[in-house]
Amino acid sequence: MPPGPCPPLQVNESPSAPDSQPPGPDSGILDSEPAHVDASVEQSPTLSHIGRYALKGPLGQGGLGQVHEAWDPLLSRTVAVKTLQFDIDMTERVSLDGLFLNEARAAAGLNHPHIVTIHDAGLSTQGVYIAMERLHGRDLRQALAAGIACFNVESEAELEVLNQVAVAAGARAPVSIRVNPNVDPMTHPYISTGLKGSKFGVAHERTLHTYRRAASLAGLRVVGIDCHIGSQITQEAPYLDAMDRMLDLVESVEAAGIAIEHIDFGGGLGIDYNGDQPPGADTLWPKLLAKLDARGFGQRRLMIEPGRSLVGNAGVCVTEVLYLKPGEQKNFCIVDAAMNDLPRPAMYQAYHGIVPLRLRADTATSIWEVVGPVCESGDWLGHARSLSLLGGDLLAVLSAGAYCMSMASNYNSRGRAAEVLVSGTAARLIRRRETIQDQLLAEQDADAG
């Protein structure tokens, strides 16, 4: 939601207000218990679920890469499920008072935002898998001390640095190497991460050499392998190709005497933004799991990152029409949301559906460019949209549940939007709207003594 007025929902806007009861099975926030659950899964009212997955443990509240053992009733097997990484939408959501915790964190020696968030939320770090390229120096020492379950290493240089830090700390860091399988995910080039020309991962042909080096270093312990070929993937073929190439590497690494405990296959499964037809998880994953079984890896710990496919279409950005500006070539609908609130159109030329909250019969339908008020020609939310509008109308920009709030910024000194969690007819504020005072909080007088 933009910095403008909130939609007319009943929302308790007090950050200190007590939380409501946890959502029940019919709340709409979590799916109800799967219709077909194997008898090996305990039928307990406390059993947690993510979609059809029955978690054999408590549900983590947004832990970074938190891994859960879960029963999949569709596949009739136990799987490992990794919850959403902070990149999806959790990086800034430390708490409603997060902007005022900087001094306390510094005093506690907490530095890296991912690790800080886990500590502030009171979560265990024992199931946390974190990308090595995001850490350096004090961050690495902090992650080792916190007991991070695995460092996902993306280059040979990172291995050397992590080994030095671990040896100095008298520790052995668990590592998984991210492989670049050189597979085209057939998506936007900015979110294509598995091709040889991308910056991510160790090149396929250097993988065995890198694992041998990792296994030789005293401060490292090899535990896994991972890849992530891209985002908003809408075809099966790239996944099937990447799985084959990953398993080829597992075989060659283990033939060299280096055990691989887990395989992290990443995510990237797309959603329907504008008639997109990504494969359903219930059709894609049986094919991938069949490959695992056929090649003898059926009992290996497998992790996936469903990310966008879970939350992308669960969120909307609600914005108010500020002005209507008809023109000779184009008609502009200027709204109070902007590229800082919802960056995907400006960054990826992405399509988001835009619908009015109230249909109008009292004004003609026109073709509008839906744009924000920021002084950038790239500040647009939708091109050539057929809408019946008047000033003050509220619009919903759809499919805003992923890579929107997490990418929002304070560009043009605009405060980031409030976030409201809606369950049925109930709505609750979960992040208050930023103020200009929040933005100025970290600034200091250059002339102060």
Asked if 201 contacts 178 with a C-beta cutoff of 8 angstroms, the reply is yes
Token pair of 350 as six digits: 């992405």
Active site residue 375: yes
- CA torsion angle 174 232 194 339 (round to 10): -90
Within 13 A of 379's CA, how many CA atoms are on the CB side?
19
Token pair of 99 as six digits: 């902007």
List own/partner pairs for 168-174 with CB under 8 A and 24 or more apart: 169/141, 169/144, 169/145, 171/144, 171/219, 172/218, 172/219, 172/220, 172/221, 173/144, 173/219, 173/220, 173/221, 174/148, 174/149, 174/150, 174/220, 174/221, 174/223
In eight-state DSSP terms, residue 375 is S
Exposure class string for 92-108: b at 16+ Cβ within 10 A, else e: bbbeeebbeeeeebeee
Q: Which of 150, 333, 375, 404 is catalytic?
A: 375
Helix, strand, coil share (%) of the chain residues, nearest 5: 25, 25, 50
Point out the residues that are catalytic: 375
